[in-house]
A and B are shown apart, each in its own frame.
Chain A
Amino acid sequence: MVRQVMDREVSKLKNEVLLLGSMAEEAVLSAVNALYLRNHVTARQIFISDQEINKRRFAIQNAVLILIATQQPMAHDLRLMTAILEVTSELERIGDYAKGIAKVTLAIGDEQFAVPIQDIQMMANRAVSMVHRSLSAFISEDEIISRVIPLEDDEVDRMYESIFQRALKAMIDKPDSIDVTNYLIWVAHNLERTADRATNICERTIFIATGELIDISDLSFSISQTPGQEAY
């Protein structure tokens, strides 16, 4: 019976975060799809939806502020509040990545893809799946799954590496495809960053559960270290 009010408000917030996550995931998938279909209408729509994403993020942050001021959450509840603030930030960033991909669609026009677009679609699939699952784990505060999901980041990195190599080769073989291929690299880069965001969300979930903020890329450093990635 105690703290009914706060529990109610927290579950409302979590719903809103899930919603925001859906919007961001939807935006990424939709952007890649628009790229595949070269659908400029869809691409422009993504810019409009991004405004909604930003609005919702701001509303969630405001609500967290109000909740902290009026309910004075402590311990776990307090960590949850700061984690929500950070996760909404990540989700909004993912929305921006989707926007970036949509921009590419508008810039490309009708030129041929030098790299098979299916690879990019697969990468998008995987990245969005990671986001979706880590968000679910965040809402249910599942620490165990949150330690497992980041391991998939290696696979995404490999996908990126493979696309990158092929793009390089394509640019060398067909110099007039440099523009398009460059854009495609950019799209792949955005998707790789999306997967990183998912990893960050997992880190936040672990933080809520344990109070420790760990940097997961440190853990998998030895496995995924390949040339070309040191920039990260």
Chain B
Amino acid sequence: MENTLSNLSKSSAIIPSLERHYIHAKNGYKRRKTINLLMLSMTGLLSLMAIVPLFWIIGYVFYKGGQFINLDFFIQTPRPMGIVGGGVLHSIEGTIIMTIISALIAIPPGIMAAFYAAYYPNTPLGVALRFGTDVLSGVPSIVVGIFCYALFVKPVGHYSALAGGIALAILMLPTIIRTTEEMIKLVPQNMREGSLALGAPEWRTALKVTLPAAINGIITGFLLGLARAAGETAPLLFTALGNDRFEAGRMIQSGLHGGQSIFKIIGNILSQPVDSLPLTLYKYAQQPFAERVNQSWAVALVLICFVLFTNIIARIWVQSRTGKR
């Protein structure tokens, strides 16, 4: 009897050779290559077609609007119609104010609602939240505008920045809730348990552990919602209306001179009708004066830049945070 151990060390493993009778690649290497190339080209072409409108728009707006951008544009209020010069300071201020208001109104409830929906998805409120959010995101913005008119403009008797801010907040809310909820669900259950196991209550865990862990996505979602809200026109028609004479700086100065408290000054600012950039664009583009039309192109440029800028910031922020992780 041979020593099997020594056999193992001497011979290499023997594999029965595969009899290749039944399976073999079809001939037509060339044919396959051609089909591959065709598919690739088609995909590339169609992708290009999808991107073209974006670049076209950006390019055209830059071209048309770039001609009319100057420093005055950003720091001056409008001149009377027909006269060259002046700027859209009022719109810029209006946009900024209403964006801030809408952020302040939308973020806290949005995040809390997202937590509730993420933690208790099967309760009646949780189900209602998720369903409601989906519906709300589909409601046309002009309907939101009319709703805000009925609730916040008519009873008060005048248009206001506040009403505009509320309308924008309602439009932002679904995006914020949805994104936040998704990001919360992405935080590992592990991490939440780690905090609870130390004895921390749920709220503290949510605030100090889950929220910071999800903050990247939350901020991205917020910025995207913001970019969208800043570009809304329809709801503002019924709530903020527009105001050529709006100049926050002057209002603050006169208020301080007049010895008014900071709250009164802010209240004053908020209750004024204001313009926003998209609103201004809407109005200027339809006017017969060449100056106005040119300026509307410039506004379009500003808006596009704002959207681009916001997206780029969002992306850089996320990358810098994940780089550290």
Establish whether A and B are touching in the complex (CB under 8 Å): no
Hey, which bits of chain B sit against chain A, CB under 8 A? Answer: none
Hey, which bits of chain A sit against chain B, CB under 8 A? Answer: none
